[in-house]
């Protein structure tokens, strides 16, 4: 029996329950799969990453399974995206598999229990994760007034800052109306300025997640704002609204409709954006994400200037040991020698 993609995701989260809640099982799993080779270790943003292979935002939106995910071999986790206001997912169907492309299309739209509630729950287990954990913050769907948007983000930031090793500002999801407009240099500058002003004692590394669909000029302009406002880095990239060069039949893709495409079709553009961001911001942390299925894919992003990489779609297609496997494959490329 084939499950729908959203049902399969719910089953995957549920299946991680025993690993999340049974400590001896986590100990054994971590011993088998957690990265221990010192060649994989990365230091960035004042943090120690046992592996450069992390989990991208969007998989564990409500921070329900961080201990299980860390035990499976991820070097770091990005949880969320969370919003100041709790909200449901966009109407179903909202998640699709393009099996011929090993890709996903989602239009979930930041479903979560609300930043304050998620952060309070996560605070109880934070000390038992074992790898750096960041939260992604986004705009609440109900907040549409321009003068409220920055307040909405700062409320989420205030909620998660104390329990985060880093925070990612998501202004690039295609699934919240008008969210991507926040990537314009003028608006982004005001948003980043407000967040940086609240980022004190203790200060937490702050990054922005950008879309692959920005033009090169728009990437350069946003990088200038990142530099000017003193952010710590860039996550490159989010999902794409492009539907070019797919093996999946056009009529199938058109029937799916809107949403963010992730997986191998994004790989080439993600690599281009990482290179461009690295040229603009050579001293900043860059987290490369988009189409990483193998150690060679991860190595390509790292060689292009990424400090760390993330996976999501390959975790769905390759299964629970994807991070551990990709880390081993990365070492086989000669990484860390």
> What positions carry a catalytic annotation?
173
Q: How far apart are CA 204 and CA 199, in angstroms?
A: 7
Residue of 285, 189, 177 whose CA lies nearest to 228: 189
R_g over Cα of the chain: 18
How far from 124 is each of 13, 23, 64, 117, CA to CA, in Å?
A: 19, 15, 12, 12
Q: What are the structure tokens assigned to 100, written together?
A: 């011929």
- β-pair partners for 308: 287
Q: What are the structure tokens assigned to 234, written together?
A: 């860039």
Q: How far apart are CA 268 and CA 250, in angstroms?
A: 20
Q: How far apart are CA 59 and CA 74, in angstroms?
A: 13
Q: How far apart are CA 276 and CA 305, in angstroms?
A: 9
Residue at token pair 């221990």: 36
Residue at token pair 């201990």: 67
């Amino acid at each position: 029996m084939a499950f729908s993609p959203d049902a399969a995701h719910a089953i995957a989260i549920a299946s991680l329950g025993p690993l999340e809640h049974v400590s001896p099982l986590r100990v054994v799993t971590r011993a088998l799969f957690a990265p221990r080779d010192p060649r994989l270790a990365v230091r960035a943003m004042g943090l120690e990453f046992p592996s450069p292979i992390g989990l991208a935002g969007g998989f564990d939106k409500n921070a329900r399974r961080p201990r299980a995910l860390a035990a499976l071999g991820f070097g770091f986790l990005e949880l969320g995206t969370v919003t100041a206001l709790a909200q449901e997912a966009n109407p179903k169907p909202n998640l699709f598999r393009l099996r011929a492309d090993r890709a996903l299309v989602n239009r979930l739209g930041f479903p979560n229990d609300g930043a304050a509630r998620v952060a309070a729950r996560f605070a109880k287990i934070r000390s038992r994760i074992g790898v750096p954990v960041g939260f992604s913050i986004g705009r609440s769907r109900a907040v549409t007034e321009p003068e409220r948007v920055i307040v909405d983000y700062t409320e989420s930031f205030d909620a998660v800052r104390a329990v985060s090793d880093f925070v990612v500002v998501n202004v690039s999801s295609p699934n919240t109306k008008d969210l991507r407009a926040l990537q314009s240099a003028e608006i982004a500058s005001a948003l980043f300025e407000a967040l940086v002003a609240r980022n004190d004692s203790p200060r937490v590394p702050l990054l922005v997640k950008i879309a692959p669909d920005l033009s090169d000029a728009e990437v350069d302009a946003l990088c200038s704002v990142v530099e000017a406002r003193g952010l710590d880095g860039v996550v490159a990239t989010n999902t794409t609204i492009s539907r070019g060069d797919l093996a999946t039949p056009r009529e199938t893709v058109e029937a799916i409709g809107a949403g963010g495409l992730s997986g191998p079709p994004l790989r080439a553009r993600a690599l281009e954006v990482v290179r461009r961001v690295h040229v603009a911001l050579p001293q900043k942390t860059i987290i490369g994400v988009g189409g990483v299925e193998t150690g060679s894919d991860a190595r390509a992003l790292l060689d292009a200037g990424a400090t760390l990489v993330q996976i999501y779609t390959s975790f769905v297609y390759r299964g629970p040991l994807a991070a551990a496997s990709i880390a081993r494959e990365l070492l086989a490329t000669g990484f860390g020698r």
